[in-house]
Amino acid sequence: MSELAGAGNQGLNIVAAYAKGRDGFKQQSARTTPQARRLAFESKKPTEHLPAARVKRLSRSAPLSLFIEALEQDGCVIIKDFTDEATLRQADEEVRPFLGDEDEGAVVGALQGKTKTVTRLIGRSPTVREKFFADPIYQNLCERFLALNTTHWYGDKPLTTTSHPLLSISITFDIPPGTSAQGLHRDDKNHHARHTRVKSYENGRDMLLGLFVPACNTSKANGATRVVPGSHLWGDDMPDFGADGSQGVVDAEMQMGEAFIMLGSLYHGGGAYDKPLGTAKEGQRESRTVHAMFSCTGVHRQEEISFLSYPIEEVKTYSKIVQERLGWKQSEPNLGWVDLKSPEFLLTT
């Protein structure tokens, strides 16, 4: 983030990152120059593999500080009791009708044509929207990692404003048998994010935070997402996953009811669905289905244009946190207004 903030500015940038820890909110500053951005491209230091060979699992009742610690250390964390089977069934009923029967899926980004998808998930599934995306743990973590709190000057008068996160994309990934593994990648590639290699996490480093809610048990055999804990601290040089491509790579296997949260800079990719057809227990689906949502910083462009995807009459029925995350509240001090007014007034008429 700090590199991006410095990109269009010849002078010294003071990027204030929003930091909420055990002791409440505090402000931290990072100084970046255009040179720091160039260093991100030129970094040739070897990739360092951290020992974390698994993804930490925490219960909902754990303090938020433990989730923050896990994301800072590993770049990812699993919530053990995120939801329950009845809620997943409800979401499934809402999403499944949109999972087309067509053989060819999208070829875009890391998608290679086999994976079936459901876009516009926020509008299509009230359960995904209000039970998963609006989940307070996920939203508090979005606020902690993505909110920007910056002091700027009007002459000699300082003004500190906060820009809150936005939904970037909401999508279901449904992997049928025979799908091969995705190349390990960072999702913040979409925003051309640049990363300097660091030993420990720096506030304001990420501009995306993802939530993955599996609709079925996921395992190595059915293509559980492959993740590389600690890789959020790496630079932009070619990643080294060892001779067989699996060094440092962990299968984020989950039971139904669990959910996975990761920073946008973490290397990951959908796994291969190797299990032969016909091996699923009766009544169980023969595909691996995961609902994924990503939030971005409030000053970045969303991946899915929410204003064209979700009609205003529908948005009026959404909860306040979802309306705000779709961009129906301006980013302070003044981004995203209508007639110079924060747009939520349009939702009350």
Ligand X SMILES: O=C(O)CCC(=O)C(=O)O
Give the footprint of Fe ion on this chain (CB under 5 A). Answer: 110, 187
Q: Scanning the structure block, which residue is given the tokens 């060094």?
A: 247
Q: Taking CB under 6 A as the rule, does residue 178 contact ligand X?
A: no
Binding range to ligand X, per CB under 6 A, among 49-57, 99-107, 154-162, 263-271:
263-271
Total number of residues that touch ligand X (CB under 6 A): 11
3-state secondary structure of 190: helix
Instruction: Give kind and range of the element (H or E) at residue 7.
Output: helix 2-7
CB closer to Fe ion out of 163 and 182: 182
Instruction: Report d(CA 222, CA 253) in Å as an integer.
Output: 10
Burial of 263 (0-12, 13-18, 19+ CB in 10 A): buried
Instruction: Report d(CA 124, CA 78) in Å as an integer.
Output: 25
Of positions 82, 132, 138, 173, contacts ligand X by CB under 6 A: 173
Give the angle subtended at the CA of 79 by the CAs of 74 and 82, to the nearest 5°. 155
Q: How many helices (H) and strands (E) does the chain have?
A: 10, 14
CB closer to ligand X out of 73 and 225: 225
Cis amide prior to 239 (ω within 30 degrees): no
Q: Please check whether residue 226 is in contact with residue 249, taking contact to mean a CB–CB distance below 8 angstroms.
A: yes
Of positions 147, 290, 315, 326, contacts ligand X by CB under 6 A: 290
Q: Which is it for the CA torsion 294, 298, 301, 305, positive or negative?
A: positive
CB closer to Fe ion out of 106 and 312: 106
Q: Which is it for the CA torsion 170, 176, 181, 183, positive or negative?
A: negative
CB closer to ligand X out of 107 and 305: 107
Q: Please check whether residue 189 is in contact with residue 238, taking contact to mean a CB–CB distance below 8 angstroms.
A: no
Of positions 269, 309, 315, 327, contacts ligand X by CB under 6 A: 269
CB closer to ligand X out of 108 and 308: 108
Q: Rounded to the nearest whole angstrom, what is the least distance from the CB of residue 212 to ligand X in the complex?
A: 7
Binding range to ligand X, per CB under 6 A, among 24-32, 40-48, 152-160, 267-275:
267-275
CB closer to Fe ion out of 17 and 118: 118
Q: Scanning the structure block, which residue is given the tokens 């462009």?
A: 301
Site for ligand X in 98-157 (CB under 6 A): 109-111
Q: Rounded to the nearest whole angstrom, what is the least distance from the CB of residue 244 to Fe ion in the complex?
A: 21
111 binds, among Fe ion, ligand X, none (CB under 5 to 8 A by kind): ligand X
Instruction: Report d(CA 130, CA 261) in Å as an integer.
Output: 17
CA distance to 160, 260, 261, per residue, from 288 (Å): 45, 15, 18
Q: Rounded to the nearest whole angstrom, what is the least distance from the CB of residue 111 to ligand X in the complex?
A: 5
Q: Scanning the structure block, which residue is given the tokens 């689906």?
A: 285
CB closer to Fe ion out of 303 and 332: 303
Residue nearest to Fe ion (CB): 187
Site for ligand X in 24-83 (CB under 6 A): none
Of positions 177, 248, 270, 327, contacts ligand X by CB under 6 A: 270
The residue ranges that bind ligand X (CB under 6 A) are 109-111, 173, 182, 187, 225, 268-270, 290
